[in-house]
Amino acid sequence: MFDLVLGTGNAKKLIELRLLLPVDRFALTALSEIPDATDVEETGTTFAENAELKATVQAKHLGRWVLAEDSGLSVDALGGAPGVFSARYGGQHGDDAANNAKLLAELEGVPTEKRTAYYSCHICLSDPQGNPRATASGTCGGLIRTQASGTAGFGYDPLFEIREYHRTFAELDLVVKRAISHRSRALREFLPKLMRIAFS
């Protein structure tokens, strides 16, 4: 078993990560289970920079292998916003309702065909010395609806429509979301790299 810390405090992201990683090969520990985990300031200007910061700083602090990810929403009509500020777009970190309300206000009057957007996810694995050892990324495109729909998921999922399904991420079955989401795509690229490092 390979000891791996999942460098996120977001409970719903943890569920997705645990579902996508082979638990028979990895002993997975969440940051919330580690009393002396450090708070890493996300000062990067890109998702990739923030993922690397969260992985390397935490790994060096704990002396353990850490997998960290940074993800968020980019809206074309808003020049890529909210981007790296996705989690705190509405003011307070992790306030999904405020973030969604601000996004809808910013897009008021923007026609459907110009409400294109995409989710991005960047993953970084750091060794216990704080060296980045593997990275991967994934994206998923869609449209921002004019009102929320669905109760599953988190973040901007109730507003983010997958055009092929005519449903939001919050309306889609978890099996479908696992197949097409930005996080799933990043993890599928990342997993072979992780397995080589962990078990070669």
Please give the annotated binding residues for substrate, written as ranges. Answer: 8-13, 71, 154-157, 177, 182-183
Return the amino acid letter for 163. Answer: R
Please give the annotated binding residues, written as ranges. Answer: 8-13, 41, 70-71, 154-157, 177, 182-183
CATH number assigned to the domain comprising residue 56: 3.90.950.10
For 121-180, write each residue's pLDDT tens digit: 999 999 999 999 999 999 999 999 999 999 988 899 999 999 999 999 999 988 898 889
Enclosing domain of residue 33: 2-199
- Name the phi and psi angles at 10, rounded to 5: -80, 110
User: Model pTM?
Assistant: 0.92
Rounded to the nearest integer, the mean pLDDT of the chain is 93
Return the amino acid letter for 195. Answer: M
Strands of 53-168, DSSP E: 66-75, 116-126, 132-144, 160-162, 167-168
Domain count of the chain?
A: 1
Q: Residue 13: its pLDDT value, please? A: 75
Mean pLDDT of 189-195: 94
Q: What is the separation, in whole angstroms, between the first and last Cα of the chain?
A: 13
pLDDT above 90 for 86: yes
Whether 127 and 59 have beta carbons less than 8 Å apart is answered as yes
Catalytic residue set: 70
Please give the annotated binding residues for Mg(2+), written as ranges. Answer: 41, 70
